[in-house]
Amino acid sequence: MPKLPSRSRARQLPSVDPVLAFLVVTVAVLAVTFTLLLGSTTPNPVGQETSLTDATSLIDAGQVQAGTLRDFDHQLELRTKDGRELYAGLPSNGADTEQIVAAFQKAAGPPPLRIDPQSGKQTRRIIVQVLLPILFLVALFTLFARLAQASDDIGKFSKWRGKTGGNARSRATFADVAGTPTAVEELRELCDLLDAPDRYAALGARAPRGALLVGPPGTGKTLLARATAGEAGAAFYSVSGAEFVESLVGVGAARIRDLFAQAREHAPAIVFIDELDAVGRKRGAGVGQGNDEREQTLNQLLVEIDGFDAGSGIVVLAATNRPDVLDPALLRPGRFDRQITVDAPDKGGRAQILGLYLVGRPVAADVDIDVVASRCPGFTGAELENVVNEAALLAARHARTEITAPDLDEAIDRVVGGPRTTTHRLTPDELHSIATHEAAHAVVARALGGAGTRRLSVVARGRQLGVASVLHGDRERVVLRQSDLEKQLATTMAGAAGERLAFGELSTAVNDDLHAATTLARSMVTSFGMSELGPVTIGEKSGEVFLGASLQDLGSVGQSTLDTIDVQTKRIVELAESRAADALREHWTVLQRIASELLEHESLDEHALDVLLSPIGEAGDSQ
C-alpha cells in the first residue's frame, strides 16, 4: 500500500475564486471561437487567380468545362477542359453576375454553372462581426472588474492615500516645539476649539475653520501641525497637496471628498495639507487656463472647507512657503481664517531648538549653547537639527564619546559651505590672496563698528575658497536704518577693497561678495528709497509669475528710470568699497598680521581675532 504524505508536509493549494476562473475560461473560449469562425468566413478560393475579362473570354471560346458562382464570396470558380482551375473576383454590387450567367448560356455546348448562395457563411459572418465581439468585451470587462475587486488597487486609485497620526505615545506635543512661541500660542486656541466647542457657541463666536502656516522651508510647520493634533488628542490626517493632482480628471476631487469623509467619521480631527500651493494656486493664472484637473480639485477643496458647521470638530491646517500664489478664495474669512507666520527663530529660539536636539546626547562641558546659537544667524529648525547631527557624526568619526565645541563649529561650517575640498590644493599665491581677502572683512567689520567676526578660515569648502563669519549686531533686528545697511555693504566689499590695495587688481574670489553687494544696493534703490531716485518702489510687487508678467513690469517703468537705477546701484557699491578701502589703509598693519596668522593656522576663532583686532577696537567704537 503506498505511503500517504503526512498532513504537515502536505502542500496547501491556493484557493481559487470560481467566478474568476469561470470568467478566464469564458474569455479564452470566446477568443478561440472568434479565431476559428473568422477563418471560416474568409474566402478560400481554389486554383490560380485570373481577371474577370479573361474568364469571360474562356467562357465565350467554349474552353470551360464547369463553373461555380460563390454568391457570398463574390467569386467565380472555373474548371477548364485542359484541367486547369481558375477563379476571378466579382464586384460586390453584383453588376457582372447577369453577364456571367448569359455568357455560360450562349457558349457552345453550354457548360454547367452552379450557383452557391453560401447561406451558412452569412450567418457565421454575423456571429463573428456582431455577436462575438460584444460577448468578448462584456466578458473582458467583467474579468477586469473582478480582478480590480480582488486586488483593490484600481478602486483605491481615487481614494485618499495620505497618512494618519501615530499612537498617543509617539505623538508630538507643544513640548517638542521650540523657537516659535507666537505660532504655538495661536494654535493652542485651535486645541481649545476641539476640546470645548460649546464654549464658543455659547458666546456666539464663530470658531476658526482653519489656519495657514506660512514660512520658509525647514521652520517646523509640519511639526507644529502634528503637535497641535497631539495636544488636542484629535485624529490627525496628513497629506501633501501634490497627491491631489493627477493626470486623470476627477481623481483629485474624489480624493478630497474621501479625505474629508474620513475626517468627519473620526471627529474631532485635524486635516493637515502640506505644500498647499501645489493644489491651491490661483485659478486662471499661467499657461493652460481653463477648468482643468487642478481647478476641479481646488473647487472641491473650497466646498469641503466651507461646508463645515460650528460643531463639526474638524480643523484644517495647511502649510506653504508661497502664500502669494494662493487663490484668494482660500484666504477669505470662513476658510483659512488665520495666517500664522512661522519664521526662522531668533537667537533665543535657536538656543531652545539646539537644547531640544542635544537632549539625550552626550555633550562635553565646554559646549555653550548660546555661543553656538549666535554662530547660526538665520538658521531654521531643520538646519539646526542638521548641525547637531553633523556634530554627532564628526564625534563618532574621531572615536570621541562626547560632542565637543569644535565638533559643533565644524558642523556649522559643513552646513554652510559643505565639507572640506580635497580635490584641489591651493597654491601659496592663492592662499595669500584668500587670506588677505578674508582678513579685510574682519578689519572693516571691526573698524566700522556694529559687527564682530566669529571665525576666519582659508579652508576651501564646496565652491567657497574661504570663510569670514561676520556677525552683525543688528542681525536679529527687523528694522534697519540706512547707516546700518551702508556698514553691511562696506563690510561685504571689504574683500574686493583689500585685493585692490594688496595686488592692484581683483580676483575671482570676489564673485559672491559682488553679487550680495549688488543685490543689497539695488534693494536700497528700488525698495527702500535710500538713493537719489527718491522715495519710490519699483518692480517690488509680489505676486504669481505668469506668462508676460515680466514684460508688463518693464512696460510700466521708463527707460530713464531704469538707467537711473543702474547708476545709483553702482554708485552705492563704489562708495561702500571706497569706505572699506579707507578703513583698510588706516589699519593695514593689522590686516597683514591677521593674514599671516591665517596662513599659518588656516582658521582663527573669535578669541584669537579679538587679540589681533584689539588695536582698532577704540577706532571701531568711535565710528
Instruction: Name the grid cell of 604.
Output: 582663527
Residues in the chain: 623
Q: Which of 26-35, 168-177, 568-577 has the lowest mean pLDDT?
A: 168-177
* Residues 369, 151: Cα–Cα separation, whole Å: 54
Whether residue 330 is found in the same domain as residue 190: yes
pLDDT tens across 296-308, in order? 778 888 887 776 5
Q: Which of 183-197, 469-483, 522-536 has the lowest mean pLDDT?
A: 469-483
* Residues 310, 561: Cα–Cα separation, whole Å: 54
Q: Is 91 part of any domain?
A: yes
Nearest-5° angle of CA 160, CA 165, CA 169?
Answer: 165
Residue at a domain's end among 155, 175, 206: 155
DSSP state of 363: B
Interval 146-153 mean pLDDT:
58
Cβ density class 9-28: b for 16+ within 10 Å, e for less: eeeeeeeeeeeeeebbebbe
Q: Is 6 part of any domain?
A: no
Q: Residue 375's domain spans which residues? A: 347-416
DSSP state of 548: T
Whether residue 305 is found in the same domain as residue 384: no
Among 144-148, 349-353, 543-547, the range of highest mean pLDDT: 349-353
Q: Is 555 part of any domain?
A: yes
Instruction: Name the grid cell of 568.
Output: 545709483
Residue 332, domain CATH: 3.40.50.300
Do residues 221 and 317 lie in contact, with contact meaning Cβ atoms separated by under 8 Å?
A: no
Give the pLDDT of residue 620.
Answer: 45
Q: Is 11 part of any domain?
A: no
Q: Is 64 part of any domain?
A: yes
Give the pLDDT of residue 26.
Answer: 80
Cβ density class 516-542: b for 16+ within 10 Å, e for less: ebbebbbebbbeeebbebeeeebeeee
Q: What sign does the dihedral 521-522-527-530 (CA atoms) show?
A: positive
- Beta strands 603-604 and 235-240 are unpaired
Give the pLDDT of residue 549.
Answer: 43
Of residues 600, 623, 351, 615, the one with CA closest to residue 456: 600
pLDDT above 50 (res 450)? yes
Whether residue 460 is found in the same domain as residue 443: yes
Whether residue 83 is found in the same domain as residue 21: yes
Whether residue 337 is found in the same domain as residue 352: no
pLDDT tens across 350-359, in order? 888 888 888 8
Give the pLDDT of residue 545.
Answer: 43
* Phi, psi torsion values for 529, nearest 5 degrees: 65, 30
Residue 264, helix vs strand vs coil? helix
Whether residue 72 is found in the same domain as residue 202: no
Q: Is 12 part of any domain?
A: no
* Phi, psi torsion values for 552, nearest 5 degrees: -65, -40
* Residues 279, 294: Cα–Cα separation, whole Å: 6
Whether residue 234 is found in the same domain as residue 310: yes
Cβ density class 335-344: b for 16+ within 10 Å, e for less: bbebebebeb
* Residues 505, 237: Cα–Cα separation, whole Å: 60
Q: Is 495 part of any domain?
A: yes
DSSP string, 3-59: PPPPTTTSPPPPP--HHHHHHHHHHHHHHHHHHHHHHHTS----SEE--HHHHHHHH
User: The sheet that has 451-457: what strands, in order across it?
Assistant: 467-472, 451-457, 603-604
Provide the residue type at 480 as one letter. L
pLDDT above 50 (res 216)? yes
pLDDT above 90 (res 131)? no
Whether residue 258 is found in the same domain as residue 375: no
Give the pLDDT of residue 552.
Answer: 43
Residue at a domain's end among 381, 416, 451: 416
* Residues 341, 180: Cα–Cα separation, whole Å: 9
Instruction: Name the grid cell of 57.
Output: 473570354
| Better pLDDT: 120 or 411 | 411
Residue 513, domain CATH: 1.20.58.760
Residue at a domain's end among 358, 393, 416: 416
Cis peptide before 216 (omega within 30 of 0): no
Whether residue 449 is found in the same domain as residue 591: yes
pLDDT above 60 (res 159)? no
Whether residue 466 is found in the same domain as residue 599: yes
> To the nearest whole percent, how much of the chain has pLDDT over 70?
68
Whether residue 376 is found in the same domain as residue 332: no
**Active-site amino acid positions:** 438
Whether residue 179 is found in the same domain as residue 314: yes
Q: Is 10 part of any domain?
A: no
Of residues 299, 344, 353, the one with CA closest to residue 321: 344
Instruction: Name the grid cell of 240.
Output: 501633501
**pLDDT band, very low/low/confident/very high, at 323 (cuts 50, 70, 90):** confident
* Residues 459, 604: Cα–Cα separation, whole Å: 11
Q: Which of 139-148, 424-433, 544-553 has the lowest mean pLDDT?
A: 544-553
Number of domains in the chain: 4
Residue 374, domain CATH: 1.10.8.60
Q: Which residue has the cell 490661483?
A: 282
Residue 151, domain CATH: 3.30.720.210
Measured torsion, CA atoms of residues 299, 305, 307, 313, in degrees rounded to the nearest 10: 160
